[in-house]
Structure 1
Amino acid sequence: MFCYQCEQAAKGEGCTRIGVCGKQPDVAALQDLLIHALKGLSLYAVEGRKVGVEDHEADVFTCQALFSTLTNVNFDPESLVKLVTQAVELRDALKAKVKAAGGKTDFSQDAANFKPADNLEGLLAQAEKVGLKSDPTIDPDILSLQHTLLFGIKGIAAYADHAQILGQEDNSVYAFLHEGLAATLNKELGLNDWLGLVLKCGEVNLRTMELLDAGNTGTYGHPVPTRVPLGPKKGKAILVSGHDLKDMAELLKQTEGKGINIYTHGEMLPTHGYPELKKYPHFYGHYGTAWQNQQKEFAQFPGAILMTTNCIQKPQGSYIDNIFTTGLVEWPGVPHVTNKDFSAVIKRALELPGFPEDVPGKEVMVGFGRNTILGVADKVIEAVKNKDIRHFFLVAGCDGAKPGRNYYTEFVEKVPKDCVVLTLACGKFRFFDKDLGTISGLPRLMDVGQCNDAYSAIQVAIALSKAFNVGVNELPLSMILSWYEQKAVAILLTLLHLGIKDIRLGPSLPAFTTPNVLDILVKNFDIKPISTPDQDLKAILG
């Protein structure tokens, strides 16, 4: 086993015995084999597009399969075996179509021709030959860029899957996923070729986030500022974690009139701001904080728990009978909901005691998407011109359990009172309930949304740059980012594609980034690791 796709890789180098995320060696191996199979499928998909052959089923499957290999998504070896088999079946069907259309099909690469073994032992033996570090002849810097591309592609696939579920697709996104995967089999590409592909990955991710934004806002309305209670309400309860808005919408419909209150956990918090979701009176509040605290928080929740998309950790015995997965999330032995039928989740919630009484608590504000912020752009511009607002900080990204993330709490606490903090993704749970007050009637802390809502933050920055007639890098705006998994990699590549410089990244730099690749990023984009809040604030503000 070798895996270093997330920030918590063991010793900052890579997990070799068991994943810090809880991934067992057989699961890691099967995920490697699935990526291998997808590379073979991608060779034929690329050739197919040259001769007018497109396979929508293979396109959608590629996104789903890639998403299944993200950190904290699919831990079920039986499910992964099925995905490997399906990838090869789709590959062979696509190969036949391409051949019939006169396209090239005589590939010599193993990924284009391999046949899965008929038992788990054989599959694991095959996987040993195709892992991340299985080819020692590859130049380390090229391998670093290959893996940066691969992990960025995984992030794109996650967002593309969410968007496709809501009816938003773009063939150019699918085409790039296949282009990027197939490129990893091309030994003729040099360092500049890989740099180009990495930046293109950022460009395609921007389009993908745009699709997802259109799906979310087109279906559920643009988020509006909304107060969300953190204290629970008396009654039966269901807790929803992950990212998927459609799962939330379907659950809200199915629980109407059943006396069950719905709570969000983790990155589902921003869903309270969507008009078509907040209209349900039993969509009540938020419970808990970020994904890495779920084992403690879920154990104390007196209702059913639904995990959508990524973020699941090994369920503990205290709540193993109360948790369900859906979508691409799977854990061995945990009931999996299909076809958006949440009757089993509802049944379990009604069996459990729920909260015995109302517990008063804090409230937090969500709903500061681009429509909300740009709706008061004139106030923002005036406040900047009048020097009421000196600087904007986007303090955003993933949270995690690794030491060093208290930096972000301290940073926000020390941001001067004439500055505004924008935040998104689960990194905000380090400071989301702090009252930073207001400037010129505007909150000093604004929650832009989930990680994919980086699209909203980018649109705000572009709009402000046009209003002030300066480039984005000349705005009084600094990005202080935390990363954990592959969607964060895709977002970072998007920012680099847009030419945004002087990004501070932490709590540690990716293990898959070699010193030479880091040097390229520093020279071209002035990207840098976080230091201390005091030092970074002084460097930014003077």
Structure 2
Amino acid sequence: MDYKMFCYQCQETAKGVGCTVQGVCGKKSDLSAMMDMLLFAVRGVSVLATGLRKLEQPVGREVDHAVVDALFATITNANFDKESLRRRVDRMFELRDELKKQAAAVGLTYAADEVTWVPVADEYESKGFAEGVLREQNEDVRSLKELTVYGLKGLAAYVEHAMRLGKEDDAIYAFMERALSDMTIGNLDAAALTELVLETGRFGVQGMALLDGAHTSAYGNPVMTEVNIGVGKRPGILISGHDMHDMEMLLQQTEGTGVDVYTHGEMLSAHYYPAFKKYKHFVGNYGNAWWQQREEFESFNGPIVFTTNCIVPPTPRNTYLSRMFTANSTGYPGCKHIEEDANGHKDFSEVIALAKTCQPPKEIETGTIVGGFAHHQVFQLADKIVDAIRSGALRKFVVMGGCDGRFASRSYYTDYALGLPKDVVILTSGCAKYRYNKLGLGDIGGIPRVLDAGQCNDSYTWAVVALKLKEIFELNDINDLPIVFNIAWYEQKAVIVLLALLSLGIKNIHIGPTLPAFLSPGVAKVLTETFGLAGNGTVEDDLKLVMPAEAEVLA
């Protein structure tokens, strides 16, 4: 076996097969090896933690948090700082060895290399290459394991956001560690691994519900909101990523400073929460999806704070690196990392001071966009929606949530949205919405034709809404609803959304612009035959699936 970089966890992986020299995302091979080393260490910790839990021995919360952080730090476009990952590897081995002592005291021993390997810092890179994706030789087994791991990475992202708001679920932590343990020492066959994939989806629903509760209990239920996409005349700070707790702290600390705050990418949904509406210096949203940041960060002029993933490495032509700050699981060489104290507090004073020396943002567009249609707000429209469905004015919903990306093939989603019949409503969440949320698609009797629930984790909304409609129309099967799923994906948070939908029994989902490279032909065949999972066709052909000639109105 030739040990080298191999990564195929994102949609843009090289040639649709895998990155072997450098990631399309920008990560170098040595960084990839360090990420694989971190996952190796996480597996060892998880084996021990799971064994101890089975004997009802305590596992410290620090272990749970470290596992979540490590999974999140290895998600696509989250952390490009090799040294910060190395520190995580060192700490993970320290935790592993502490757990080994605890396990030995109750008679637990394991022969797995993840548990027994003696850390040698100079060997991290070579060991990381050896312990990467290709360590598993069986293609179908590898596919099922990686599908689960990528689902766990997405779940870790949502769990971490909830954790920062004081909401935690012991069952989720225990499952994540058990899943990693079972894939390491469980000798699971294909059937057992397939069940583990679906179990990951079930915990994905639980994790998204946890985060939904964390957000709404802290900041209120999102409400329909017009968000300004123009700029003000004062210096600004641009906050990107997904973490609402960081959003709150930044708004608090910038109040009265003469510095405005703008959201970027998936932080757009912060504008929908009632608790943030009191901040007069919370001006609007700047720019579009993550992949356009090289141009948009240049024109913004002020500091940029990354709270989570979606970092695109700047080019030598870009001048904003000195204005970039990272937090939480993110990292980038040359950027100041904002640490939190023991109480979870972050000090943004350095960011604010820098902002005061910067020019105001350059205006790149004007107007507003509308969002805030999480499940509570949608239920406020329930009577209108039900009446519109029964009258035939609204014939179908299309869920078009997920991720945006750089490839030209992503224009499919804009063309698809423009081609939908005028009696179809788009349900969206995640940054995929930037392909069509500024098209002015109108409304159906006061119901906007693009209902944006928020971030990718807010895809939970559409599961809740679907289940509610199934109840209202007294249907036996959720798949009898007039809902089509055409989901765009890029990274691992989209994977957990997909697995969550599958676990709820939702079938005939289309994902694109391409099927994941990590789905082996055998696994893809099972998903196709069992769930009707499919990739994209042409826009014209796929639009025919939305409104077949025999479509009926629900009574």
TM-score tier (shorter): over 0.9
Is residue 238 of structure 2 the alignment partner of residue 239 of structure 1?
A: yes
Offset of residue 298 of structure 1: 0.5
Match of 1:111 among 109, 114, 130: 114
Offset of residue 98 of structure 1: 2.7
Is residue 129 of structure 2 the alignment partner of residue 128 of structure 1?
A: yes
Hey, what's the Cα distance between the residues in 2 that align with 1:360 and 1:498?
40
Hey, what's the Cα distance between the residues in 2 that align with 1:430 and 1:359?
17
The corresponding residue for 1:525 is 531
Q: Deviations over 1:230-272 (max 9, x none)?
A: 1111111111110010111100000001111111110011110
Rate the CA distance shift 1:359–1:29 in 2: closer, same or farther, 3 A.
closer
Does the 8 A contact of 1:48 with 1:103 survive in 2? no
**Equivalent position SS for 1:64:** helix
**Equivalent position SS for 2:261:** strand
Q: Deviations over 1:383-405 (max 9, x none)?
A: 10111111011111101112311
Residue type at the aligned position of 1:27: L
Match of 2:415 among 410, 414, 435: 410
Hey, what's the Cα distance between the residues in 1 that align with 2:36 and 2:188?
22
Residue type at the aligned position of 2:367: K
Is residue 481 of structure 2 the alignment partner of residue 475 of structure 1?
A: yes
Match of 1:27 among 31, 38, 44: 31
Match of 2:13 among 9, 13, 27: 9
The corresponding residue for 1:326 is 327
Is residue 82 of structure 2 the alignment partner of residue 83 of structure 1?
A: no
Matches within 5 A, 1:209-220: 209-220=208-219
Offset of residue 128 of structure 1: 2.2
Does the 8 A contact of 2:145 with 2:183 survive in 1? yes
Matches within 5 A, 1:285-296: 285-296=284-295
Q: Deviations over 1:11-58 (max 9, x none)?
A: 101111111111011110000011001111111111111111222110
The corresponding residue for 1:510 is 516
The corresponding residue for 2:270 is 271
Q: Deviations over 1:176-198 (max 9, x none)?
A: 11111112223621110000000
Residue type at the aligned position of 2:494: A
The corresponding residue for 1:388 is 393
Does the 8 A contact of 2:510 with 2:536 survive in 1? yes
Does the 8 A contact of 2:322 with 2:334 survive in 1? no
Is residue 540 of structure 2 the alignment partner of residue 534 of structure 1?
A: yes
Hey, what's the Cα distance between the residues in 2 that align with 1:10 and 1:403?
15
Offset of residue 456 of structure 1: 1.2
Residue type at the aligned position of 1:155: G
Hey, what's the Cα distance between the residues in 2 that align with 1:133 and 1:156?
23
**Runs of 4+ deviating beyond 6 Å:** none
Rate the CA distance shift 1:142–1:360 in 2: closer, same or farther, 3 A.
closer
Hey, what's the Cα distance between the residues in 1 that align with 2:543 and 2:466?
20
**Equivalent position SS for 2:401:** strand
TM-score (norm 1): 0.97
**Equivalent position SS for 1:393:** strand
Does the 8 A contact of 1:305 with 1:324 survive in 2? yes
The corresponding residue for 1:352 is 358
Hey, what's the Cα distance between the residues in 2 that align with 1:128 and 1:504?
34
Offset of residue 142 of structure 1: 1.1
Residue type at the aligned position of 1:366: G
Residue type at the aligned position of 1:18: Q
Hey, what's the Cα distance between the residues in 1 that align with 2:446 and 2:155?
37
Does the 8 A contact of 2:227 with 2:368 survive in 1? yes
Does the 8 A contact of 1:34 with 1:83 survive in 2? yes
Rate the CA distance shift 1:67–1:455 in 2: closer, same or farther, 3 A.
same
Rate the CA distance shift 1:520–1:439 in 2: closer, same or farther, 3 A.
same
Rate the CA distance shift 1:355–1:178 in 2: closer, same or farther, 3 A.
closer
Offset of residue 333 of structure 1: 1.0
**Equivalent position SS for 1:107:** coil
The corresponding residue for 2:454 is 449
Structure 1 gaps, min length 5: none
Hey, what's the Cα distance between the residues in 1 that align with 2:290 and 2:356?
25
Does the 8 A contact of 2:394 with 2:444 survive in 1? yes
Is residue 183 of structure 2 the alignment partner of residue 184 of structure 1?
A: yes
Hey, what's the Cα distance between the residues in 2 that align with 1:503 and 1:66?
26
TM-score (norm 2): 0.95
Offset of residue 97 of structure 1: 2.0
More displaced 10-residue stretch of structure 1: 312-321 or 503-512: 312-321
Offset of residue 498 of structure 1: 0.6
Offset of residue 116 of structure 1: 1.9
**Equivalent position SS for 1:404:** helix
**Equivalent position SS for 1:6:** coil
Q: Deviations over 1:344-398 (max 9, x none)?
A: 1101100111147x88712100111100001121111111011111101111110
The corresponding residue for 2:343 is none
**Equivalent position SS for 2:487:** strand
The corresponding residue for 2:76 is 71
Residue type at the aligned position of 1:337: I
Match of 2:49 among 21, 39, 45: 45
How many pairs does the alignment contain?
Answer: 535
**Equivalent position SS for 1:410:** helix
Structure 2 gaps, min length 5: 341-345, 549-555
Offset of residue 134 of structure 1: 2.4
Q: Deviations over 1:163-209 (max 9, x none)?
A: 11111111111111111111222362111000000000000111011
Does the 8 A contact of 1:55 with 1:94 survive in 2? no
| Alignment RMSD (CA, Å) | 1.3
Residue type at the aligned position of 1:327: N
Offset of residue 99 of structure 1: 2.9
Hey, what's the Cα distance between the residues in 1 that align with 2:349 and 2:219?
23
The corresponding residue for 2:195 is 196
Rate the CA distance shift 1:92–1:359 in 2: closer, same or farther, 3 A.
closer
**Equivalent position SS for 2:77:** coil
Identity of aligned residues (%): 42
Hey, what's the Cα distance between the residues in 1 that align with 2:81 and 2:321?
15
